[in-house]
Chain A
Amino acid sequence: MASWWKYGVIVLLLIAAALVPQALPTFWISIATEVLIYGLLAMSVNFLGGYGGLVSLGHAGLFGISAYTVGYLVTRMGVNHYVAFLAGILLTLAVGAIFGGVAIRATGIYFLMITYAEGMVVWGLAYRWAKVTGAENGIRGITRPELFTKGWQYYYVVLVIFVLTIYLMWRVLNSSFGLTLRGIRECEPRMAALGYNVQVHKFLGYMWSAFFAGIAGGLYAYYNRFVSPSTVQLSVSSESVLMMVLGGVGTFFGPLLGSLIIIVGRNMISLYTARWPIIMGTIFVLTVLLAPKGIIGTLSAWWEQRKKVSAGVVEIVEASARKEVGAEGEVRVGTESQS
């Protein structure tokens, strides 16, 4: 039950996003495209980690499978762009079914370690399976579909797919299944006692997340027109976790905000210094220490608190008003009640 102003903000953001190519130079259009793509990847991590409580350190692997598939099919096989994009997502789902099937048997730190290892498997393949992946040379020369060759054109493609995808994600998270996911995060042991086959739901959650990561990977291949082992390296996974933490774990738009800050920050700061990793590490530590709920999480907690306090004030005022008239209403503070 989002209130109207929330929809207002979303519409304003959409308009702003649609005006990016008009308002900003080419360099920044490219940055904006990257913000959306990595934002989507971070949102897919958040779908599973923030809502399902299963934080993955291997999503770069899923992202990379899709990106490599697109690259390979387009450059080596001359496959139609749209078919290649779909094939990328399908292969991500196929591998995701195996990776997910293994990983969901664990929770917490063990889930993290297994997904980490799975990400490394993909990285190892990218690096060693030269015949297909081109090893450290990667796959070059990925062309874009004819209508969308220019940077600003492709930006719109990414924007539209991004919006459609996160709309779907929003619906899933607000459905019965979305509630189930949050239930698993909040108290997994209780879920079985309510009749849930927890493994099945975790698996489905993983598959959705892989689907979103696969879309991001396909978009990336066309955006960058080049994929290499660095596309799937650990830092891509860990950065998407960082984006989620920075923006707010379990908040819908948090990872996108995290992506904006990290991608823009990296591009601006690397003009002046090569110490970006140190700065990013510092951001991470500071976030965890000072605002563990992330930016959006902290803001909305503060907002809730404010609403509650003002509601409490209203109640006190009403109660004392009743007292004046001689009624026997007891004074209540905040949300505490006397039962």
Chain B
Amino acid sequence: MSTDVCVTSDAPLALELINVTKDFGGLRAVNNVSLKVRAGERRAIIGPNGAGKTTLFNLITGQFPVTSGKILLFGRDITRLPMHKRIALGMGRTYQITRIFPELTVEENVILAIQGLRPLKFDMFRPLRRHRDVQEKAHELMENLGISDKAKVKARELSYGDQRQLEIALAMASDPKVLLLDEPAAGLSPAERVTIANLIRRLPKSLTLVLIEHDMDLALGLVDQVACLHFGECIADETPDCIRANEMIQQIYLGGE
């Protein structure tokens, strides 16, 4: 890979994948992928459908074990940790297919996400509203994501666009250091895509972001560095400008659609 020209930062590594491979039976969904994401970096992972992008997230978060390879978070080997422990180390993720809590209100959804990493989740007696700090944080978060007027609405009753916002709110609720967004704009209207893009731009600079996005135009405008997966292999790891100029990738996208 000819990445040298494009690599710039020398911040510490937030996330590192070393020769990660995943087989599903006979299918090699992720093939020997190595990836370095520096702290504070905005990184996109692009690639055609079925390239193994979501699977890569599932491996990073521990949804299922790697077949081989290693995953490091801030230098620490997390390859064998269960998901909830990886999350506790400062990871948050969203899902390509929305996974919210449909029968709970938006506020309850967010509170559930906030208390996930706090010991108060074991409080079995005090009513929820007694936890002032959690309440305040929930409202701040809903405010930020523009869903605070729907606090008392059941998640199932939200429009699809608002559900996608909630999906992101859940991942951000625990103040992760590394945020993994799996096609946050999937299925949205052009106007809603702009909302999401602006939201991503407004994220704190200290946050390390890994963004899976099928839509290259959207992804390239948001990130510092882009990895491209194709049939489970990482075929490029470059800046957006290099990616735009990379004929092989343009070929895959034009031909693969």
Closest chain A CB from B250 CB (angstroms) = 34
Given contacts A177-B122, A339-B161, contact A195 B174 (CB under 8 A): yes
Q: Which residues of B contact A185 (CB under 8 A)?
A: 103
Q: Which residues of B contact A196 (CB under 8 A)?
A: 84, 116, 121
Question: Are B131 and A176 closer than 8 Å at their CB atoms?
Answer: yes
Q: Which B58-104 residues have C-beta < 8 A from chain A?
A: 61, 82-84, 87-88, 92-93, 95, 99-104
| Chain A binder among B41-49, B107-115, B234-242 | B107-115
Given contacts A195-B116, A339-B159, contact A176 B103 (CB under 8 A): no
Q: Which of A171, A193, A195 lies in contact with B125, CB distance below 8 A?
A: A171
A208 to B83, CA, bound (A): 26
Q: State the majority secondary structure of interface residues on A.
A: helix
Q: How large is the interface on B (under 10, 10 to 19, 20 to 34, 35 or more residues)?
A: 35 or more
Closest chain B CB from A64 CB (angstroms) = 26
A178 to B108, CA, bound (A): 11
Interface residue total, chain A, C-beta cutoff 8 A: 30
Q: Which of A178, A189, A193 lies in contact with B87, CB distance below 8 A?
A: A193
A175 to B125, CA, bound (A): 5
Most buried by A among B84, B88, B170: B84
- Give A residues with C-beta under 8 Å from B: 171-172, 174-180, 182-183, 185-187, 189-198, 201, 204, 208, 335, 337, 339
What are 10 A-B pairs with beta-carbon distances under 8 A? A172-B125, A176-B122, A176-B126, A177-B123, A180-B115, A189-B99, A190-B99, A194-B113, A194-B173, A195-B84
- Give B residues with C-beta under 8 Å from A: 61, 82-84, 87-88, 92-93, 95, 99-104, 108, 111-113, 115-117, 120-128, 131, 146, 149-150, 153, 157, 159, 161-162, 170-171, 173-174
Interface contacts beyond A177-B123, A194-B116, A196-B116: sample of 7 additional A-B pairs, CB < 8 Å, sorted by A: A175-B126, A177-B124, A179-B104, A187-B99, A190-B95, A192-B82, A337-B149
